[in-house]
Amino acid sequence: MDFESIERRLADIPCPVCKNSTEYMIPRDSRVTDGEYKAFCKSCRYSFPIHMDVESFTRSQPDVAYWMKGMRCPVCLKTGATLDFRVQPSVRGAVYFVTCTACQHPFFEKSSLEAFE
């Protein structure tokens, strides 16, 4: 995925700090590690990580792969999705940005999987 697509999709979630902004930017030099960047709220400058290395993540987290198979698309109502990237806007939560395997509709799901780690 390119940075512009990710920034557009991030507009689906409000900033966890200021709550009134859905505009984010990803500086191209913000890479922390391979596959991880920082997104910044354009309003309050709060930053959170974007994890784009989904392949190694799904291999190391079999529960996520299982969860994706049962995820229901809000448009076609069929199950099954592929993980595009994930963000951690807060310490206790993550948001998974996925694409439906049946109709290719992009959507997001909040995860409670990290809450118990």
- Pick the residue with more confidence: 20 or 73? 73
* pLDDT one-digit tens code per residue, 1-56: 788 899 999 999 999 899 988 899 998 777 777 778 999 999 999 999 999 888 88
Query: 100-106: long-range contacts (C-beta < 8 A, 24 or more apart)?
Result: 100/73, 100/75, 100/76, 102/73, 102/76, 102/78, 103/73, 103/75, 103/76, 103/78, 105/73, 105/74, 105/75, 105/76, 106/9
pLDDT value at residue 116: 47
Residue 112 reports pLDDT greater than 80: no
Global pTM value = 0.86
Mean pLDDT (whole number) for 99-107: 97
